[in-house]
Structure 1
Amino acid sequence: MGSHQKPSTAGKPIRCKAAVCRVAGAPLVMEEVTVAPPQAHEARIRIVCTSLCQSDVTFWKLKDFPGITPRILGHEAIGIVESVGAEVTELTEGDTVIPVFLPDCGECSDCLSKKSNLCSKLPFKVSPWMPRDGTSRFTDLDGNTIHHFLSVSSFSEYTVVDIAHLTKIDLDGDVQMNRACLLSCGISTGVGAAWRTADVEEGTTVVIFGLGSIGLAVAEGARIRGAARIIGIDMKPEKFDVGQLEDFRVQMVALSCLECIELQVINEMTEGGADYCFECVGLPSLMEEAYACCRKGWGKTIVLGVARPMSEMKLECFEVLHSGKILTGSLFGGLKPKSDIPMLLKRYMDRDLELDKFVTHELDFKEINTAFDLLIEGKSLRCVMWMDR
């Protein structure tokens, strides 16, 4: 008797389930879509599991561009290569990959430099299209275009991703995909910001504005670096129980609103200001307050939160000139995906980096709207959704 081998889908359109954002802020619609074959420099990925990030919620709510509908959101995931397009040599069918919103072409001067992780060949954009040809690989069953999100669109059983946005990994037998997928965005961003962008030093004081998963990932990175004190500031003290915060070595400070007297309290707690401040919410007012809480002379403020498009923050020129502080942004924590994600995965396998405690919920893909509710209500850090369980 011969073996029954599954017919190859390479080069052919694939029909699959996807959670489509049809109306901004409305529940996602689970529907069947068509995913075109990959073009040159692209791979089609079978998503194994995906998790929900606050950035997905931010853009899900947007009614004006760069918000756009219909769209397949999702950008934190792990998957298996189903097929590759022309001129793809570094990936092959069956490879395990982590898609990342930030490109890493490996060829331009920025990608080759240790000073930057901002690719100049394929600059990061919040685009509804594939990065090289400005078209979509998604259509609905009526043939209408469905837009991409952050070059990933992981809320689909299959997606097409440019190879500059894919990192190949080798999973150890003890490493599960529902943990490795966290390195696709939030955890890498927070840990990387502490390690690369801030370069947190042993014995220093860290203040984190916003205790979501990115803020707690900053705390994890600061813990590994040997920070003496990690203070977490959040306006929702009920979000996570005290025991959970203790797991992250975070000293909780709950502020009803950020007023001068409360900022004075933070500065008194840090004896003149923190060595490092991290804004992990995406509010211009919090970015300003984080800068105000930073120690004069050498303090660094790192902005990680994704603010609404066209948002502005205001700083006094006198303060900037005379305080000697540093203010900087940090996309993907300053990490280079293709080299740093495997490094973080090894740190996890060596039990040096914690991932398990970030996963507060695991659901089936069809329950994706429940995952949105959990995150919006502050009941979830990372909710991992299995595409086929």
Structure 2
Amino acid sequence: MSSTAGQVIKCKAAVVWEAGKPLVIEEVEVAPPQKMEVRLKILFTSLCHTDVYFWEGKDCGERRRGVTELVQSDHVLPVFKGECGDRAHCKSEESNMCSLLEDQHDRGVMINDEKPRFSIKGKPIYHFVGTSTFSEYTVVHAGCVAKINPLAPLDKVCVLSCGISTGLGATLNVAKPKKGSSVAIFGLGTIGLAEPLFGASRVIGVDLNPSRFEEAKRFGVTEFVNPKDHNKKVQEVIVEMTDGGVDRSVECTGNVDAMISAFECVHDGWGVAVLVGVPHKDAIFKTPPMNFLNERTLKGTFFGNYKPRSHLPSVVEMYMNKELEVEKFITHEVSFL
């Protein structure tokens, strides 16, 4: 990397030329980083369902001036959530938002000059959610890079950059179920199954795919509800099962109807529903206002309320200390080229 510092690097990248079209392996040119940017060598990456959502249209590095926390040879995780460290959200203990780096999903270019760092024969190739890890080299804002334990196996902890951390934080940081409580999880994918359920007495998994139920038992789910098996709303089914509703629910699908069900299935007086899935931009959430007046709480979270630079290294340490399993979430390993 040192021999290419300040120079354009040519490498392979998987490029989507049109929404929903197959990925194509192309040779791209990766420009050197500018102020507060780093260029990373991607050794391993992972695929999240949110990646597929945007695709469908619905680690050593080179640093640049202003970057003081990172040096070449650091092991890092690039994250779609940013933490510049200077704005009000970054300084707040109650939020993991960052007003400078919050619109990564739509930007496609770097903040400094509103241009991408990728190109093919002079044609600009745009960035994806601020990370673009389907490239052998990428350029990201330094606020989207978490420096981690160099002993952590990168082929395992790369999955902590999105789904697992999101599910983990949604419970530990947002829902915060008490020991002996009941929990409903809507969507039994990686995020849903990453919910830490220590101490919960009942864990109800809700999914339209019954083939997921058997596997979900390994993750602590005790009961299952398939909405297609009932002629009433799934929230009504859960309320009847639990004598008034669950203590906590976590919605992990991004389907607005599932979001409404997750909120309406929690118990009045103390029930808390947490929305994790990413809905369609035009989706509208509708529920009777009395659900709020009856002391139900609705919360939302991106990336489990983890600040990437401040908190993600500690999540990696949870794995290193055998407090968190990630291997069971890895089903396939595929060569990039």
TM-score (norm 2): 0.95
**Whole-Å Cα distance in 2 between the matches of residues 259 and 354 of structure 1?**
37
TM-aligned CA deviation for residue 110 of structure 1: 1.8
Shift of 1:171: 2.9
Take 1:110 and 1:205, find their aligned partners in 2: how far apart are those partners? 32
- Quick one: which of 239, 256, 274 aligns to 1:302? 274
Cross-structure match for 1:215: 192
The answer to whether structure 1 residue 288 and structure 2 residue 260 are counterparts is yes
The number of aligned residues is 335
Amino acid at match of 1:305: G
Give the structure 1 partner of residue 156 of structure 2: 179
SS of residue paired to 1:256? helix
Matched, 1:123 2:94: no
Q: How does 1:346-357 map to 2 (within 5 A)?
A: 346-357=317-328
Partner of 1:246: 217
Q: Tell me the SS of whatever aligns to 2:38.
A: strand
Between the aligned partners of 1:256 and 1:119, the Cα distance in structure 2 is 40
Shift of 1:128: 1.3
CA separation in 2, counterparts of 1:282 and 1:143? 37
2:104 pairs with 1:109: no
Q: Are 2:213 and 1:265 aligned?
A: no
CA distance in 1 between counterparts of 2:70 and 2:2 reads 20
C-alpha separation between the residues in 1 aligned to 2:98 and 2:229?
38
RMSD of aligned alpha carbons? 1.7
Q: Following the alignment from structure 2 to structure 1, what is the Cα–Cα distance between the partners of residues 111 and 171?
A: 29
2:160 maps to 1:165? no
The runs of at least 4 consecutive aligned structure 1 residues that moved more than 6 Å come to none
Counterpart residue type for residue 263 of structure 1: Q
Specify the alignment match of 1:139 in structure 2.
119
Deviations 1:36-78 (A, max 9, x none): 0000000000001111111111111117xxxxxxxxxxxxxxx
Q: Tell me, in whole angstroms, the C-alpha distance in 1 between the residues paired with 2:45 and 2:71.
A: 21
What is the Cα deviation at residue 107 of structure 1? 2.1
Equivalent in 291, 312, 316 of residue 288 of structure 2: 316
Give the residue type in structure 1 aligned to 2:88: S
CA distance in 2, matches of 1:103, 1:44: 16
Asked whether the 8 Å contact 1:131–1:151 carries over to 2, the reply is no
Query: In structure 2, do the counterparts of structure 1 residues 259 and 153 end up closer, same or farther at CA, with 3 Å as the change threshold?
Result: farther
Instruction: Quote the offset at 1:137 in angstroms.
Output: 0.3
Name the residue aligned to 1:56.
51
Any gaps of 5 or more consecutive residues in structure 1?
1-5, 64-78, 367-389
Is contact 1:235-1:257 (8 Å) kept? no
Instruction: Note the C-alpha offset of 1:286.
Output: 0.7
**How many angstroms does 1:222 deviate by?**
2.4
2:167 equivalent among 190, 208, 227: 190
Deviation per CA, 1:175-195: give whole Å up to 9, x if none: 321111111111111000100
Per the alignment, in what secondary structure is the counterpart of residue 290 of structure 2? helix
Contact 1:195 1:222 in 2 (8 A): no
